[in-house]
Amino acid sequence: MNRVYRYLGILTALVFTPGCQTAPAAAAAHGENGNMKKLEKLQSIEIGRDSLSITVISTGCTSAEDFTVESSGRGDHGELAIYRIKPDYCRRAPMPVTLTLQWENTTGTDPGSLQVVNPVLRHSPSSTTILRPSTR
């Protein structure tokens, strides 16, 4: 009887363990070097010609190197996405942090008309801003 329970335990482990390991991997996106990447929620973004200023929520360990910027599209239909490639596992109280990211506009679209695909956090009408560069 002990032998039956041992085989039943092994069979159960083999059936359920692979499913637990593959489910998160199937739902996640991967960066160029295999890192996990996640579309970041933004509090604000200011788009410049060769840099972005973003405000995100941090728990203490967020830096500009934790993000990658991707632009796509051509002509009048350009999109901009900011991905977090390194999670912030620190345990400080969440607070907004403003970071400057370098980027290259490969779409040929004017930076002022790019569509930002990231979700935007809304706390009050005056706390969320999306600023476009002046067209002087």
Which range among 14-18, 23-27, 36-40, 120-124 shows the weakest confidence by mean pLDDT? 23-27
Residue 109 confidence (pLDDT) above 90: no
> Alpha-carbon distance 47 to 53, whole Å?
7
With cut-offs at 50, 70 and 90, classify the pLDDT of residue 15.
Answer: very low
Per-residue pLDDT at 32 exceeds 80: no
pLDDT in tens, 86-101: 999 999 999 999 999 9
61 is a domain residue: yes
| pTM: predicted TM-score of the whole model, two decimal places | 0.65
Percent of the chain with pLDDT over 70: 64
Higher pLDDT, 21 or 10: 10
Torsion sign, CA atoms 34, 38, 43, 49: positive
Report yes or no on 22 lying in a domain: no
Q: 69: exposed, middle or buried (C-beta count within 10 Å: 0-12, 13-18, 19+)?
A: middle
Contact by Cβ (8 Å): 120, 130: yes
Residue 25 within any structural domain of the chain: no
* Domain extent at residue 117: 30-131
Top-confidence residue, 103 or 128 = 103
Look at 27 and 116; give whichever has higher pLDDT: 116
How confident is the prediction for the chain on average, in pLDDT? 76
Please report whether residue 21 resides in a domain. no
Number of domains in the chain: 1
